[in-house]
Amino acid sequence: MSENVKIAMTINGLDLVFEPNITAFNKFTNEMMPDNKVAPATNYLRRIITKDTKENLEKILALPGGALKLTGAVNEKYSPELEIEIKN
């Protein structure tokens, strides 16, 4: 996956543009704990949002479940599908 990825979307009429990268993605993954998911997701989104749409992000993060749903949408687009074949 290229490091120059931009993911643009509109949520509830608000435009958002994210620039995910492997460092931020890995940090998010490493911060996840069974009892702590919202804070890592929120921090991840704040790390990868463009300055121009940061204000809109805060409005979405104020909604219940906003951080987790949005993180899922961004990572679904960013993280590639892998074709895995197990050989014994």
Per-residue pLDDT of the chain (88 residues; tens, 9 = 90+): 456 899 999 999 999 999 999 999 999 999 999 899 999 999 999 999 999 999 999 999 999 999 999 999 999 999 988 899 999 8
| Helices and strands (H, E) in the chain, number of each type | 4, 2
pLDDT at residue number 3:
67
pLDDT at residue number 22:
95
pLDDT at residue number 81:
86
Pairing between strand 14-18 and 7-11?
antiparallel
pLDDT at residue number 4:
83
Residue 61: CA atoms inside 13 Å, Cβ hemisphere, count? 18
Q: Which of 25, 29, 6, 26 is nearest to 16 (CA)?
A: 6
What are the structural domain ranges in the chain?
A: 7-78
pLDDT at residue number 43:
97
Q: Which CATH class is domain 7-78?
A: alpha beta
Q: Which residues pair with 15 in a beta bridge?
A: 10
Q: Nearest-5° angle of CA 83, CA 26, CA 32?
A: 105
